[in-house]
Amino acid sequence: MSIAAESAEFPQDLIERWRRIPVPVIVDLAAECQIDIAIRPLCSAGRQPALFGRAVTARCAAPDFGPVLRAIGLISAGEVLVIDAAGVAEWAMIGDVLGGHLHRIGVAGIVCDGAVRDTGALAEMTGLSVYARHINPRGPIGAAGTEVNVSVTIGGCPVSSGDLIIGDDDGLAALTPAQAAALIDRAEAKLVLEAEWNRRLASDEPIGQIFGL
């Protein structure tokens, strides 16, 4: 079991409530939770699997990918491998071999602030959601690094082991336990409000009346 999975800071009922919340609602309420939009979903809109899971972090000094290997030894099904490669484009930190292993064991996805490769194969791994800043066919060199389950910065957003990572076609967000607890009622209320807007628009109510123009 990974370090992230052992943490009890997220009650299960809170995690389940967050499964319904899309990234745009999260970042509307808390811009500090947004991960840089330059870290993009691998698949096109409509084909990207939704991403939802607790973070297992790896901080790499590219081209060394030792932390990725060590994190994969700790990660469990349903979790997210979060790779801080400081945005380096010159070497991919993960590809289809390790990605295929993660897919086989049921990992939710990969977020890489750096480069990935073998993207065609990764995109075909049903249910494995991959986000990356760069694509580069050149692989890593060396595996001496050991920084796993440490606090990292991904696209300008701090992420700690066990934080909740949520991704969809629009982008990514990261929630600490404290943020998740503080924001969930407002996030659910925003979904109710948006549903009401849709209902009123469908009834041909004047738009100015709906939005208080």
pLDDT of amino acid 8:
52
CA 113 from centre of chain? 11
Residue 193 amino acid letter: L
Per-residue pLDDT tens over the stretch 154-176? 999 999 999 999 999 999 999 99
Give me the mean pLDDT over the 83-106 stretch: 98
pLDDT greater than 80 at residue 124: yes
What's the whole-number average pLDDT of the chain? 95
Cβ neighbours of 50 (radius 10 Å) = 15
Give me the mean pLDDT over the 102-129 stretch: 98
Task: Record the pTM.
Answer: 0.94
pLDDT greater than 50 at residue 1: no
Of the candidates 38, 56, 33, the one whose C-alpha atom is nearest the C-alpha of residue 109 is 56
pLDDT greater than 70 at residue 5: no
Window from 2-16, 85-99, 167-181 with minimum mean pLDDT: 2-16
Q: Is the peptide bond before 11 cis (omega within 30 degrees of 0)?
A: no
Q: What percent of the chain shows pLDDT beyond 70? A: 96
The pLDDT-based confidence of 111 (bands split at 50, 70, 90) is very high
Per-residue pLDDT tens over the stretch 6-57? 445 889 999 999 999 999 999 999 999 999 999 999 999 999 999 999 999 9
Name the strand (E) or helix (H) holding 166: strand 164-168
Q: φ and ψ at 200, to 5 degrees?
A: -70, -35
